[in-house]
Chain A
Amino acid sequence: MHTKTIVELYKGLKNKDFSCVELTKHYLSRINQSRLNAFITITDELALIQAQVADDKIALGNASILTGIPYAHKDIFCTKGVKTSAGSKMLDTFIAPYDATVSQKLNQVNLVMLGKTNMDEFAMGSSNENSFYNAVKNPWNYSKIPGGSSGGSAASVAGGLSCFATGTDTGGSIRQPASLCGITGLKPTYGRISRYGIIAYASSFDQAGVMTKTSQDAAIVLNVMAGFDEKDSTSAEQKVPDYTTNLNISLQGLTIGLPKEFFLSDLDNKVANNIMFAIKEFESMGATVREVSLPNSVYAIPTYYIIASCECSSNLSRLDGVRYGYRSKESKNLEDLYLNSRSEGFGEEVKRRIMIGTYALSTGYYDAYYLKAQKVRHLISNDFKKVFEKVDVIMGPVSPTTAFDLGSVKDPVSMYLADIYTLSVNLAGLPGMSIPVGFVQDLPVGLQLIGNYWSESKLLNIAHQFQLQTDWHLRVPEEC
């Protein structure tokens, strides 16, 4: 049951091949036996209650396609009455007093939440090693990272611990783990899904999305998650189409742009071969390919790490040990309380980014760092605009290599390089996807699809057509 897609589980539930309670118990038992460390909190009692409600709905004939589907929720989305830690010691005791808009929407369609998934602390990381709850393992090879920051979500879907999972993507945190774990991941256009109740890292980048087995499943879940929310001031008042409608459109005449900057020496040769093999598949489906250039994308790493760190230093200033979260026991005065709570509550990488941001925003450095980075952000965004006048979609690698060994990358600058192909998409606020397109030494390789603003439907269509022709997305790790 655990290798089935949403569409297949829906049929099984409808035909009474299994009940939702049986399905949920099956997943919970797999989670309890798993060594992936994909979950921070397992909500087994709640899941079984939700499963029973779903079974009742199905019996009455009131079910939708998502009724009773077991999913895993990234531990960055507030869930009322359930611990929401964002992978941090700072929020280890935080029981969210309200639901994120996304949580509310998922509840409304009677999904079954199996638990909250592990992640890099406050979504800052590319390997899931920055979690207070320890690293997640890659289901394809337990000595490898699953990617980050939505590493628990990716491992849970790839390892057959949930049918799908939610994620958030600030600099690649859905696409990169999706790529390294061999699943389908979609980060929509900035503003497409409400950020209300998502613990903020960098507010002008943060965007929720979906991690699924197929593009069709991603379309089904996006239909529920997307939409305007007056509680999020950056939520877009943009109509939500039915994302499943255009999945079957032919790719005849599609123009694909390959940015030459994405195929330089940073890219592993074997990964590049897999990417080019997938591009050939698209050509055989009627697409044409042309080389394009995103000249300023080579500056994406410094630009992103300045702006995101500035935003994080501001967002995380609210965590001071007074109103909620971790409080140090050893404080003689108020300043000590702030200092000690923050120093003991935050992990190494979070402190580092708070300090980069504090530095870049300080008097005398603001213009040289923050303002400069915002200007380069504009240049990066303009590059995409120019390219999308000529092509329908941009394709390239998600990550320069396959999953690397746990503990092997120690210095922060080398770790930041893992995001080299994903960051520019967040800087521009565009939608992006990762789909599995092959393996290098038994480790998955993902292809990145980048679309123009609000073109999620097109990306899902392109990914679905590829998945009709190939079976990379159907491969599962041995223990599945």
Chain B
Amino acid sequence: MSLSENQVSQIAHLACLSLNEAELKDNTQNLNAISSLVEQLANIETDSVEPMSHPLHMFQRLREDVVSEKEQLALFQSIAPEIRNGYYLVPTVIK
């Protein structure tokens, strides 16, 4: 199927990306090329095939429900773009 610039713009919005006009044009062209590559899969018979989400067919391990990590707020916030009083700062959401 062919993607329009409008659809690509909507995908970018869902992905939390903004595209300028040139990027939108470029991406529409490339995503359509990739889309036709992907169309090949439609011809393969897979009705009786289970989807494979993981190579090792393993089960999720469980562990004791105990605290295993130390609190490292100061260390983790030392690399944050903007913090105040232990909080991450973002532009005002509610006035």
**Interface set of A (CB-CB < 8 Å, partner B):** 93-95, 97, 190-191, 204, 230, 233-234, 236, 296, 299, 301-303, 305-306, 313, 317, 320-327, 331-334, 336-340, 342-343, 346, 351-352, 354-359, 362, 368-369, 371-379, 381, 411-413, 416, 427-430, 453
Contact = CB atoms under 8 A, between A and B. Distances in A.
Q: Which secondary structure dominates chain B's binding surface?
A: loop
A67 to B, nearest CB: 30
Contact of B56 (A191, A296, A339, A371): A191
Contact of A355 (B12, B40, B81): B12
A372 B11 contact: no
B17 interface: yes
Given A302-B37, A333-B93, A355-B31, A338 B16 contact: yes
B39 to A, nearest CB: 8
Given A230-B63, A322-B90, A359 B44 contact: no
B16 A377 contact: no
Contacts of B88: 322-323
A299 B17 contact: no
B8 A355 contact: yes
Nearest to A373: B41
B46 A321 contact: no
A313 B54 contact: no
Contact of B37 (A296, A325, A413): A413
A412 B11 contact: no
Contacts of B63: 230
B72 interface: yes
A352 B31 contact: yes
A240 to B, nearest CB: 16
B41 A343 contact: no
Interface in B27-72: 27, 30-31, 33-34, 37-38, 40-42, 44, 46, 49-56, 58, 60-61, 63, 72
Contact of A359 (B11, B30, B40, B49): B11
10 contacts: A230-B63, A236-B58, A296-B44, A301-B37, A334-B93, A351-B15, A352-B27, A358-B15, A359-B11, A429-B55
Shortest 10 CB-CB contacts between residues of A and residues of B: A429-B55, A374-B51, A327-B81, A378-B52, A375-B46, A358-B15, A375-B49, A302-B38, A377-B52, A190-B55
